[in-house]
Structure 1
Amino acid sequence: MLFCLLALTPLLSFAQRAGGPKPPGEDWIQLFNGKDLSGWNAVGAEEWKVADGAIEGRTLTKGYGYLETVKSYKDFQLSLRFKCVGNGNSGVYFHTRFKPGTADVSQGAQAEIDCAINRHTGGIYGFGRAWIVWPSPDKETVVRQDDWNDMLVSIEGNRYRTRLNGVEMIDFTDPLAKFLEGTVALQLHSGGNGHMVFKDIWIRDLTNR
């Protein structure tokens, strides 16, 4: 058995190198194809483009900007990699809706992304509610500055879980949750010099499980 495993290892490594991004597991769907923004809609006047197989978002007007999925989701797991290039704040919105024709959020919450220390990356911030939950102080240094970070966001009803670079950041059941379905949206916060990069974005729909 050990010999078989050792023999397979080079083949698996070659397949990983030769192919494209690999899903985190079974039943995962690629949300970003690495080539264009098919399946996404830009909301607001900020810049979203594809470069070097990743999505780049830049603030142009100092306003809020979003890149949302065409499809809505209820219960799901989302896996992605992100890197903070500028000093702006970002996040992954879920159960999102916007006021028609605007970049004004009308419902949703976000898994926070901010590569500055003690800015609660992996916490949950709710529209119209401020902070819902943030990580314990000992986890505030898990985020990597000027490097890629791996984030997993799990949403099942009003239970929110996030992992950052393999560390569980929060596991919280929100007693005040009102909205349980909507789009997923990458955010560029207003102000600052926002420049975010995202890649390897996968989703696993849990709604009918």
Structure 2
Amino acid sequence: MKKIIAFAFILLSTHVLHAQKMVALFNGKNLSGWTVHGTEKWYVEKGELVCESGPDKQYGYLSTDKKYKNFELNLKFKQEADGNSGVFIRSSIEGVKISGWQVEVAPINKNTGGIYESYGRGWLIKPKPEDEKHLKVGKWNTMKIRVVNDQVTTWLNGHQMVDFSDSKIGAANGFIALQIHDGGGIKVKWKDIILKEL
């Protein structure tokens, strides 16, 4: 009996430690744990995180206060109007000039799930054209981003979009950030932003 109890305790401890690695980056109430960069609009409405073009119609970012190296990030997004946006990984920022890598969130046939290096090499990898069909226009989409050392893999609605290895990404560390593109007329909603550190 003692062995059974000890084994159950070990299993419970392992489960607790695993659960502790899961972090809700967005609490559904406010922007606690995040920092706004730029004049674009970031607000919470009905438990959803909304980014919307502001009066300057420029780039805007919402970055985590904490840096994350190796992780698996799951989130949901819905594009309204022109949905050009993205999720930055291992990034840093000065003003509204961001350095890092963006997993694209964009309208159909605009490379959602691909990886773009901001102020650097540009597009590193784009999804196959036939994979664009996995984007649900005007509806909630699920995205998963897995970053381990120099490997980045993305999924859209359960379908793998890209799997990419890069030494420059592997050497970096930084925050996660959501982007709103410049140009105006853009609105994207986010929810269920859950991160597991690896």
TM-score when scaled to structure 2? 0.86
Hey, what's the Cα distance between the residues in 2 that align with 1:202 and 1:52?
18
CA contact (8 A) 1:81 1:200 kept: yes
Partner of 2:79: 84
Percent of aligned positions with the same letter in both sequences?
40
Q: Deviations over 1:80-105 (max 9, x none)?
A: 00000121410000111011xx1111
Tell me what 1:6 maps to. none
| SS of the residue 1:141 aligns to | helix
**What's 1:28 paired with?**
22
Matched letter for residue 79 of structure 1: N
- Structure 2: gaps of 5 or more residues: 1-17
Structure 1 residues 56-205: aligned runs within 5 Å? 56-60=50-54, 61-99=56-94, 102-105=95-98, 107-114=99-106, 116-127=107-118, 128-177=120-169, 179-205=171-197
Q: When you count strand as a share of all residues, which structure comes out higher?
A: 2
Q: Kindly report the root-mean-square deviation, in angstroms, between the aligned alpha carbons of the 2 structures.
A: 1.4
Distance 1:147 1:192 in 2: 21
Where is the helix percentage greater, Structure 1 or Structure 2?
2
Structure 1: which 5+ residue stretches go unaligned?
1-24
Instruction: For residue 141 of structure 1, report the CA deviation from its aligned partner.
Output: 1.4
How far apart in 1 are the matches of 2:147 and 2:170?
14
Moved over 2 A (4+): 175-179
Aligned length: 178
Task: Give the deviation of 1:172 after TM superposition.
Answer: 1.0
State the secondary structure of the residue aligned to 2:135: coil
- Equivalent pair of 1:88/1:192 in contact (CA under 8 Å): no
1:156 maps to amino acid: V
- Aligned partners of 2:83 and 2:184: how far apart in 1? 5
- Measure, in 2, the Cα distance between the counterparts of 1:123 and 1:56: 22
User: 2:80 corresponds to which letter in structure 1?
Assistant: V
Structure 1 residues 69 and 176, CA gap change in structure 2 (3 angstroms): closer
Does residue 54 in structure 1 map to residue 48 in structure 2?
yes
Please report the TM-score for the alignment, with normalisation by the length of structure 1.
Answer: 0.82
Q: Aligned with 2:169: secondary structure?
A: coil
